[in-house]
Amino acid sequence: MKIQRRTRMACCWMVMVVLFFPNQDLDRDASARARGEGRGSRQGRCLAAAACACGEETARGEEGGSRRGIGFAESSSSRMLAARKVRWLAARKVAGREEELARGEGGGSRRGRWLGLAERSSLAGALGMAVKLLLIALLALASCSAILASDPSPLQDFCVADLQSKVFVNGFPCKNADDVRAEDFFRSGLDRPGDTNNYLRSNVTPVNVNQIPGLNTLGISLVRIDYAPNGLNPPHTHPRATEILAVLEGELYVGFVTSNLNGGGNRLFTKNLRKGDVFVFPEGLIHFQFNTGKTNAIAFAGLSSQNPGVITIANAVFGSQPPISDDVLAKAFQVDKNLVDWLQAQFWTDNNY
């Protein structure tokens, strides 16, 4: 009796395994179940055969109850046969499912394709956004480099300018380090006033890379400016440097003009300076200094370039060689051409020595 109960329980478990577990994936898709009806009927016939086998086994177990050894052997053989049938049915169902997925049939397959396309589309969108962000970052970096760049930064302790070199580069080539001397970093004479005996009654003494070769690549220079009474350092610009000016003696009226404003026009900033006062002129803007006192004035100014350059406005406009067309200047300044011709005939003093 124990053997018969075990046999019936084994058959019931095999039926449950075939009916429930292999069908879990297929139950998720109604269309797949519809196509699986044929296979389901075949599985039913197989299950019926398995049940018959189990019934025959039970009958044989009852008839041969007295012969336990023979019944037990037959029961074991039947269980093995039923187990093989269960494995065969499960393998058939798995193979059918794999074939269905390979052909792309069923709602599950369609959902898989849709999800795959969605994933690929999402990945492509993410890659596109990453490329855009990279381009924006590169443009921002290039813009920042362009804004921050002035003089080339040193890549060594110093690069003393070789002023006699025939090589033309942005700045000056470096002298051989073995030929560098302390004099390449030295300049004297700033204790002596400059000659103000000129039309402007002012004098600018520069100390840049042309006077101290050791300033090459260091991005700094200075000037001494002397003003006689009513002396003027006329409107000019430094295209490559910001200037910070400190008054050592006397009084100065200083100012600068902004670039063109969005609403039109330009704004003027001015200040009266005395001994010990400091004023800043932003890079590239037109600025000036005028001695309003009755005594000589002295100022020192630092500039943020080894070679700041200077453009004196009146000299550049009316004293250039060859001269700018008087038609152009007459229309630009809204004056008669005769006045332009007279201005161009004047001697334009350069107070930078």
Binding site listing for oxalate: 233, 238, 243
Question: In sequence order, which residues have a C-beta less than 8 Å from that of residue 33 and are 6 or more positions away?
Answer: 26, 27
**Residues annotated in a binding site for Mn(2+):** 236, 238, 243, 287
Distance separating alpha carbons of residues 64 and 299, to the nearest angstrom: 129
Q: Order the strands of the 286-291 sheet from edge to edge.
A: 268-273, 252-257, 286-291, 232-237, 311-312
Q: Which residues sit in the known binding site? A: 233, 236, 238, 243, 287
DSSP letters of 247-279? EEES-EEEEEE----TTSS--EEEEEE-TT-EE
Contact by Cβ (8 Å): 304, 150: yes
Strand, helix or coil for residue 238: coil
Contacts (Cβ under 8 Å, ≥6 apart) of 319: 344, 346, 348
Sequence-separated (6 or more) residues with CB below 8 Å from residue 214 = 158, 160, 161, 180, 184, 185
Cross-strand bridge partners of residue 288: 255
User: What single DSSP character describes residue 160?
Assistant: -
Nearest CA-CA partner of 272 in 289, 252, 294: 252
Q: Which letter does DSSP use for residue 325 in this model?
A: P
In the block, residue with structure tokens 């046999």: 7
Look-up: residue for tokens 């009084």? 251
The alpha carbon of residue 60 and the mean position of all alpha carbons in its chain are separated, in whole angstroms, by: 84
CA distance 129 to 108: 31
